[in-house]
Amino acid sequence: MSPEEFRCAAHASVDWIADYLSHPERYPVLPKMEPGQLVDALPASGPEHGEPMERLLDDFKRLIVPGMTLWNHPGFLAYFANTAPGPGIIAELLCAALNGNAMLWRTSPAATELEQVALDWLRQWMGLPAGLFGIIYDTASTSSMHAIAAAREMADPEARTLGASRGLTLYCSEEAHSSIEKGAMAIGIGQQNVRKIPSDAEFRMRPDALAAAVEADIAAGLRPFCVVATVGTTSTTSMDPVPAIADIAEHRGLWLHVDAAYAGPAAILPEFRHILDGAERADSLVVNPHKWFFTPVDLSAFYTRRPDILRRAFSLVPEYLRTAQDGRAVNYMDYGVPLGRRFRALKLWFVMRYFGREKLAEMIRRHIAAAQELAAAVDADPRFERTAPAPFSVVCFRYKGTDDENRRILGQVNAGGEFFLSHTVLRGKYTLRLAIGNMGTTREHVMRAWEALQRAAPS
Ligand code: PLP
């Protein structure tokens, strides 16, 4: 591609992006697409000869966009809604041009050091202690798997040489994200050694039940090694009592990992800083800027006060990757499974600098306020009931009818194209779940979605 051809096609692409960002609601948030539809619409094998960029861009608009669920859309109210704002998109474009690979300091010095700087800024904004080591992974699932591997390294230092020994047990609440169990599966802990601790009436891990499970396992000759506390659980955004869990972890020498993937960014609001109380005692913590911190997917920020142990678990340097350097240089490949690492820090740094802490805090505050308004509206409608407290920007509620009636309400609203909500099951009951996290989502969107749900409900 000649520089001129690049300039022309890139300008056309940026024009499309700017148009999209100015009117995302021209598009339905959920595509009307059947499984296999795109596969059938595309040629069965790749072209022998190259095609002009115009044709590629036309097909992007004609075939790909209508088949996308639009996460970057103000009507996206499902799962944990998120945002790819202008500065984040521009950073992704610039990163692609540099094609940096921050496996070693030498292979991308500025990417490595920007990762250190951006993560340290975020750490300060969240009020976490100085001296934490930060590293970016793709997702919280990867971050938590690395936490569990570091925990195993602490408890069972022979594991990297001999393979994991049996009897290591891990603890999380029954409301913890599936990535915790998956991380334990991936490193050979075994699902049968993951204890799902019961939660209280507000979906928070019960420390008394945790302590009892740990003691019972020790009495049975097992080796408790790790506990995961969640700040902002996936279904209801409940917060486990981190200080009480930290007491138990310290008493029995367990690695404490805090999963604040969704809710962590709320700690940049002074009035919400308390949500990370106790996290200063954690061995590791994950927060996902690609969830509620307006940073494009993918970017998960992992912090640990034990980088020595993480490094012991993962460092393996063959001759062809050996570099001479001074003590300040960090080789991020030593702290995890991936060797090749995308230059993700640039988008976080662009987002933090473009908006600044105050504006980011204001957007999070606005989302929380919209969720509180919705929670009050649900409480005021006798046909509906809330199924969990709403401490952040997610509201869980249901029509006071059957699970099937609730499924139908959700299906009807999602079919409208304006909004996309998802569901969960709480205490055995199907629950509607409205999650606010897109920068473009206003209180008006939320109230319109609520009205659509009310209209869809049997009267
Ligand atoms: N932890 C929590 C609390 C989550 O809610 C999620 C996803 O929603 C994850 C971890 C996994 O996030 P990721 O998609 O970045 O792996």
Q: What is the per-residue pLDDT across 374-424, written as a single tens digit (0 to 9) for each?
A: 999 999 999 999 999 999 999 999 999 999 999 999 999 999 999 999 999
Mean pLDDT computed over 271-278: 98
Closest residue to atom 9 of ligand 1, CA basis: 140
CB 386 within 8 A of CB 43: no
- In this structure, the strands spanning 394-399 and 429-435 are antiparallel
Given a cut of 80, is residue 326 above it in pLDDT? no
One-letter amino acid of 400: K
Ligand 1: residue whose CA is nearest its atom 12: 140
Q: If you measure from the C-alpha of residue 180 to the centroid of ligand 1, how many angstroms do you get, rounded to a whole number?
A: 9
Å from CA of 31 to ligand 1 middle:
24
pTM, whole model, 2 decimals? 0.97
Model pLDDT for residues 352-376, shown as the tens digit of each residue: 999 999 999 999 999 999 999 999 9
Ligand 1 atom closest to residue 290's alpha carbon, by position in its atom list: 15
**Alpha carbons 228 and 254: distance in angstroms, whole number:** 10
Query: Whose CA is closest to atom 5 on ligand 1?
Result: 234
Segment 251-271 shows an average pLDDT of 98
Q: How confident is the model at residue 327 (pLDDT cuts 50, 70, 90)?
A: confident
Q: What is the pLDDT of residue 164?
A: 85
Angle among Cα 180, 182, 186 to the nearest 5 degrees reads: 120
Q: Which amino acid is at 377?
A: A
Identify which of 352, 368, 376 has the alpha carbon closest to the alpha carbon of residue 437: 368
- In whole angstroms, what is the distance from residue 435 CA to residue 420 CA? 10
> Does ligand 1 have an atom closer than 6 angstroms to the CB of 262?
yes
Nearest protein CA to atom 14 of ligand 1, as residue: 139
Residues in the chain: 459
List all residues 6 or more positions away from 20 whose beta carbon is below 8 Å from its beta carbon.
27, 72
Mean pLDDT, residues 306-318 taken together: 96
Kindly indicate the confidence band of residue 324, based on its pLDDT and cuts at 50, 70 and 90: confident
Contact 275, 263 (CB under 8 A): yes
**Does residue 107 line the site of ligand 1, with CB under 6 A?**
no
Q: Does the Cβ of 179 fall within 6 Å of ligand 1? A: yes
- Separation between Cα atoms, residue 264 and residue 143, nearest integer Å: 14
**Residue in 176, 244, 170 with CA at minimum distance from that of residue 206:** 244
Q: How far apart are CA 75 and CA 447, in angstroms?
A: 11
What is the structure's pLDDT at 241?
Answer: 98
145 CA distance to ligand 1 middle (Å): 12
> Would you say the C-alpha torsion 374, 380, 383, 388 has a positive or negative sign?
positive
- For range 286-314, the mean pLDDT: 98
Q: How far is the CA of 141 from the centre of ligand 1 (A)?
A: 6
- Chain-centroid distance, C-alpha 375: 24
Helix (H, G, I), strand (E, B), or coil: what is residue 399?
A: strand
Contact 151, 159 (CB under 8 A): no
CA distance 155 to 151: 6
The topology (CATH level 3) of 101-342 is: Aspartate Aminotransferase; domain 2 (3.40.640)
Q: Going edge to edge, which strands form the sheet with 284-287?
A: 133-137, 300-304, 284-287, 255-259, 223-230, 168-173, 194-197
CB 261 near ligand 1, within 6 Å: yes
Among the atoms of ligand 1, which is closest to the Cα of residue 298?
Answer: 15
C-alpha 150: how far from chain center? 20
Phi first, then psi: what are they for 379, rounded to 5°? -60, -30
Q: How far is the CA of 48 from the centre of ligand 1 (A)?
A: 41
Quickly state the pLDDT bin for 451 (edges 50, 70, 90): very high
CB 186 within 8 A of CB 259: no
**Mean pLDDT across the chain, nearest whole number?**
97
Question: Which residue is listed with tokens 């990757």?
Answer: 321
Report the candidate in 241, 233, 116, 223 with the shortest Cα–Cα distance to residue 174: 233
Listed residue (185, 159, 190) closest to 314, CA to CA: 159
For the chain, the domains span 101-342
Q: Is the CB of 169 under 6 A from ligand 1?
A: no
Q: What mean pLDDT do residues 233-250 have?
A: 98
192-203: average pLDDT: 98
Our CA angle for 394, 360, 102, nearest 5°, is: 100
Nearest to 192 by CA among 161, 229, 217, 160: 217
* Matching residue, tokens 């390294």: 153
CA of 371 to the centre of ligand 1 (A): 20
CA atoms of 157 and 174, how far apart (whole Å): 28
Q: Is the pLDDT of residue 258 over 80?
A: yes
State mean pLDDT over 115-144: 98
Phi-psi bin for 284: left (phi > 0), alpha (psi -120 to 50), beta? beta
CB of 146 closer than 6 A to ligand 1? Answer: no
pLDDT at 378: 98
pLDDT at 459: 84
Task: Please give the Cα distance from 124 to 271 (Å, whole number).
Answer: 15
Instruction: Confirm or reject: Cβ of 234 under 6 Å from ligand 1.
Output: yes
